[in-house]
Chains A and B, each alone.
Chain A
């Protein structure tokens, strides 16, 4: 398999605090991979290590099959990134910032600068100093800088921060276009699932510094399930009845008063009839389809998944 990014036991500790623990990540060439996790889960720390901003405490990183170390950073020449928020030399103009970036990478192509500014809709204001840019404009310029050299891997940490709805859509379209037309691989992060869902091929769920699951969106969609949810004050009696009278085995108590039944051989009306006959109060009974959000909510919060 052709992996653009591979990590082995990647760990970052600061003093005694473990920020990232034993992450084994595999990002395939040409895919759009998304990190999903709560704020502080460790997404940015992993991205910082992958882009050489901080050193891992232990473990290895390989970019394009070559190990990344402080003395061997050649892989970074093929990487564009924005980590946390886009940083610039604010007293310089947009074009001057992009020129500096290109020169640090030994990339000399004035047309590419103009093309990148055009792609992020900043053409015409490249002579303006970055200190006069809004956050959204800086974000666009940051993306422009990340793509200017047409790198093979682009790492974008929360790329839609500071963008308006149109900007967010433009960003999605740009990522899809670069992925499709130039075959660029993307690593994105977000804590907003809806945003991820629309653009990524595969998701890595980060929880407490660990990569707890890697799954393609296609697989998740296949796993989407239906269930009947009952809200009752008498959970114990209900479970007994469902299990021994109605012969339902695949179910789960999700809260003190909530039962989910994944075995759909009986309809909600048949179940409610049986419960009422046994004088069990039903506050609510409803058929649900589990959403992608439910799936990730359970993984992120450490819940089990019944499928």
Chain B
């Protein structure tokens, strides 16, 4: 399976993907300070509030997940290169599992590193320019570390929501991206509409949808997978 995942990487336009990762990470790591300075100083009340802000900002990786779905799944259908893989002595289920695991690994690692970079950059800038009230406590750092791992996992699962319907079934690039944009802004939309949703419940619900999408993609690839 690891070999199949490696081959997925080799089939990609690697420079483009690396460029995308650098741009995402570069933008997202400065976003917390940008929000405090340009949108609302309330975000800088304490390190506890800035951690919440970082969690919301890192949802941007859902969009990167959609970009990977486009390149790893939809483009292969559109360019018919999927038919090359179907001609190998490897079942379609195994091929799609390799794609899912590859996307999972990349999104998870990128999100994790991006969390870390955001935390470090925010701390360093605060250290230089005194933007956030107070200093980070041990509890803040522990909370950040655990949330960094848990939310990276959540974001990875959420990024799979468009996989089955828009990726495997409809094979549509733009709806996949729009779906991802909606998902990453979902919590903001609900607060704009004055709907109070428990963010943990929302995340759990979205993760469940992502897991269902992955399950259906693997289960149905034989039926909807002809090229």
Contacts and interface: CB of A to CB of B under 8 A. Distances in A.
Nearest to A88: B81
The size bracket of the interface on B is 20 to 34
A297 interface: no
Interface of A is mostly: loop
A70 B88 contact: no
A103 interface: yes
Given A53-B226, A89-B81, A104-B90, 14 more contacts: A53-B227, A55-B226, A73-B89, A74-B89, A75-B89, A77-B89, A87-B79, A87-B81, A91-B13, A100-B10, A100-B11, A103-B3, A103-B7, A104-B85
A292 interface: no
Contacts of A101: 84
Contact of A76 (B89, B92, B227): B89
A133 to B, nearest CB: 15
Interface of B: 3, 7, 10-11, 13, 79-81, 83-92, 222, 226-227
A189 interface: no
A70 B91 contact: yes
B88 A87 contact: no
- Interface centre among A52, A79, A83, by most chain B C-beta atoms within 10 angstroms, is A52
A89 B88 contact: no
Contact of A52 (B3, B10, B86): B86
12 contacts: A53-B86, A54-B226, A55-B226, A70-B92, A73-B89, A87-B79, A87-B80, A89-B11, A100-B11, A101-B84, A103-B3, A105-B89
Interface string A94-108: 001000110111000
Interface of A: 51-55, 70-71, 73-77, 79, 81, 83, 87-92, 96, 100-101, 103-105
Nearest to A75: B89
Contacts of B81: 87-89
B87 A51 contact: yes
Contacts of A54: 226
A87 B90 CA distance: 18
B6 to A, nearest CB: 9
